[in-house]
Amino acid sequence: MMPQKDQTRLRIGVLGCGPIAQAAHFESCVKARNADLHAICDVADDLRQRMAATYAPEKSYADYGEMLADPKVDAVIVATSDSFHVSACEMALAAGKHVLCEKPLGVSIEEVERLRASVVQSGKILQVGHMKRFDAGIQAAKAFIDTEMGQHLAFKGWYCDSTHRYAMTDAVQPTIITSAKARKPAGDPKANRRQYYMLAHGSHLLDTARFLFGPIETVEARLTERFGAYCWFITVVFADGTVGHLDLTVAVRMDWHEGFQIYGEKGSILGKTYNPWYYKSSDVDIFREADGSSQRVLGADGHFYRRQIEALADVVLKGAPMTGADVEDGIASVRGMIAIARSVESGGRAVRLADVDGAV
């Protein structure tokens, strides 16, 4: 069935035809109610041509500058390696385009702080691809916390990748096409596992904790490395003084294990989040002390990647409030990852996010 489209739509250009564009962004733009896949861009000709044949954008560019010069492109999705994000976002903003930048926003404090200035100066919208904010179960938890739960007591969050994740994701994702001509950063960004797992997964864990419970001020982190597995246990202090515990483990010897547990004055929440490629919103039980019963969102639209694009388009086209992660959220996530790394290096010392510099 053809997707139902609004009359006014955001024309999107996607930078990068790699795995995340193939598994999420191309299809999301095609299906989005209020956006179109106007253009795609990749230096790898073989990959770009194949994606153009599959998704039929109006334009296909080898050169990013040429895509940015296309007046029909309203917004750009930056879907490149992490270390290219900031420069690609800066170029898009300078060309007058809105941006959806894949997470993490960047890899160092210096570059993300610089990007903040570019966003402010441009007056354009920049949203970070923390798509879990568009998980209806997590959104229901957030609504309860903000409107009914009263005082916060405690937060526990966990994000444990599974040794079986590729068996699971290969079964449900499209076949991912690769190219020897793809542009990659010098060296192998995946060689440093601590850094790679933190950027790839820790960024999600931190953003979900912040989305639900508010800003994080301090972290104390310990890392255990055994048999190729990495386990971070992190004590976090939120801005309101409450304490949380975050568990980032890559990879657990069991199924994907992600979720959160929240205690508040007028209720509690238990959330189980699925591997994103199942497109299933989290099972979230919201217990209300007042009537002694719980509520769970069921049957929600679990296409977080499409929903984050629709939300961005609503902000740009209709002036809707921003519900995705903005540049401040992206910076906070990068600060959190760096603070965790510094705390681990110091044997678990408390590190304030406001004090960190350098890179993840």
Stretch that binds ligand NAD, among 77-85, 225-233, 291-299, 311-319 (CB under 6 A): 77-85
Distance in angstroms (rounded) separating the CA atoms of residues 313 and 36 = 10
Distance in angstroms (rounded) separating the CA atoms of residues 120 and 98 = 12
Per the listing, tokens 């903003």 go with 93
Distance in angstroms (rounded) separating the CA atoms of residues 153 and 263 = 5
Where in 78-117 is the site for ligand NAD (CB under 6 A)? Answer: 79-82, 84, 102-103
Please report whether residue 197 would count as binding ligand NAD according to CB under 6 A: no
Q: Give DSSP secondary structure letters for 114-144.
A: HHHHHHHHHT--EEE--GGGG-HHHHHHHHH
Dihedral sign for Cα 327, 243, 204, 151, please: negative
Per the listing, tokens 């900031």 go with 86
Shortest spacing between CB 211 and ligand NAD, in angstroms: 14
Of 93 and 131, the one with the shorter C-beta distance to ligand NAD is 131
Of 26 and 84, the one with the shorter C-beta distance to ligand NAD is 84
Helix or strand or coil: residue 327? Answer: helix
Where in 223-282 is the site for ligand NAD (CB under 6 A)? Answer: 276
Q: Which listed residue (30, 44, 77, 269) binds ligand NAD by CB under 6 A?
A: 44
Shortest spacing between CB 82 and ligand NAD, in angstroms: 4
Shortest spacing between CB 257 and ligand NAD, in angstroms: 17
Going by C-beta distance under 8 Å and a sequence separation of 6 or more, which residues neighbour residue 227?
A: none
Given a contact cutoff of 8 angstroms between Cβ atoms, the answer to whether 313 and 38 are in contact is: no
Of 271 and 276, the one with the shorter C-beta distance to ligand NAD is 276
Q: Which listed residue (13, 57, 106, 129) binds ligand NAD by CB under 6 A?
A: 129
Shortest spacing between CB 83 and ligand NAD, in angstroms: 9
Of 80 and 249, the one with the shorter C-beta distance to ligand NAD is 80
Shortest spacing between CB 302 and ligand NAD, in angstroms: 13
Of 43 and 317, the one with the shorter C-beta distance to ligand NAD is 43
Element (H, E) at 145: helix 136-147
Of 103 and 303, the one with the shorter C-beta distance to ligand NAD is 103
Find the Cα–Cα–Cα–Cα dihedral 44, 76, 83, 24, rounded to 10°. Answer: -70
Residues that bind ligand NAD (CB under 6 A): 16-21, 41-44, 47, 64, 79-82, 84, 102-103, 129, 131, 182-184, 200, 276
